[in-house]
Amino acid sequence: MKASKKLLAYKIYLTLAALFITSLVVSNLIFQKFFSWDFFGIYTFEISVGILPYPLTFLVTDLISEIFGKKKANQVVIAGIFASFFSLLIIYVSDVVTATSWSPVNDEVFSNVFGLSIIAVFSSMIAYLLAQFVDIRIYHYWKRLTKGKHLWLRNNFSTVTSQFLDTFSVLFLLCSFGVIEWKLFTVLLLNGFLFKVMVAFLDTPILYLAVYYMRKLFNLEVGEEIDLDS
């Protein structure tokens, strides 16, 4: 691959990594707000706003896995873990320092909004570790099994499995820490999982378009990956 093409590929990889990390960190910061959404009268979702950017992380890791390989996908996951724990440290320090008398946001308001973020980030990271590594492993298992064909199969199968694991794990931990009442566990699990599955099916065409564009841009065969380390 020409140097100019490889530089472009690296820039695209960094952009995808930035989208992934931003979505992950933001989802942990805004999780305390819940809303209801009437899905065309078929079903009413009651979910956290933190779930809105989260499915994007699985779309991005699937795209990175497809174009740049398993190693690069795992590197982005690890970078996301570091960013999340670093944001936790910043939140903790910000919560500890005392607000001035004229501060627009006082200590109580700040703690109410961000105080539970430490527990949320910890719970999310445990669930996230399990889900993302399972997602990447399943994705590449089906990629090898289908010899790079049937993109829809590995995308949806890996995402649905990992999303259930993620939703179950984070809700179990949040309920165990007392952040959410146990009586809400089942309904939030159902709502969260159904929403993520729906988004997973909807993002399949987006993944197909992105993969098609990348393969055409870099002249890649089906199943071929870009080696950014060579």
In the chain the domains, ranked by start, together with CATH numbers, are: 3-218 (1.10.1760)
pLDDT digits 0-9 by tens, 163-174: 788 788 878 887
End-to-end CA distance of the chain: 10
Task: Give the integer Cα–Cα distance in Å for 176 and 191.
Answer: 19
Task: Give the integer Cα–Cα distance in Å for 65 and 180.
Answer: 34
H or E segment to which residue 39 belongs: strand 34-39
Pair of tokens at residue 215: 């393969």
* Helix extents (H) in the chain: 3-29, 54-68, 70-96, 107-114, 117-145, 151-176, 185-202, 204-218
Mean pLDDT of the chain: 84
pLDDT score of 213 more than 90: yes
List b or e across 34-66, with b for residues whose CB sees 16 or more CB atoms inside 10 angstroms.
Answer: eeeeeeeeeeebebbebbbbbbbbbbbbbbbbb
Question: Which are the contacts of 176, defined by CB distance < 8 A and separation ≥ 6?
Answer: none
Please tell me the predicted confidence (pLDDT) of residue 142: 77
Please tell me the predicted confidence (pLDDT) of residue 120: 67
DSSP one-letter string for 43-79? EEEEEEGGGTTHHHHHHHHHHHHHHH-HHHHHHHHHH
pLDDT score of 121 more than 70: no
Query: Who wins on pLDDT, 99 or 126?
Result: 99
Place of tokens 């009586």: 183
In the predicted model, what is the mean pLDDT of residues 187-209?
Answer: 84
Pair of tokens at residue 186: 């089942």
pLDDT digits 0-9 by tens, 59-117: 898 899 889 998 898 899 889 888 988 888 888 899 899 999 999 999 998 888 877 66
Query: Who wins on pLDDT, 99 or 188?
Result: 99
| CA-closest candidate to residue 170, choices 112, 113, 125 | 125
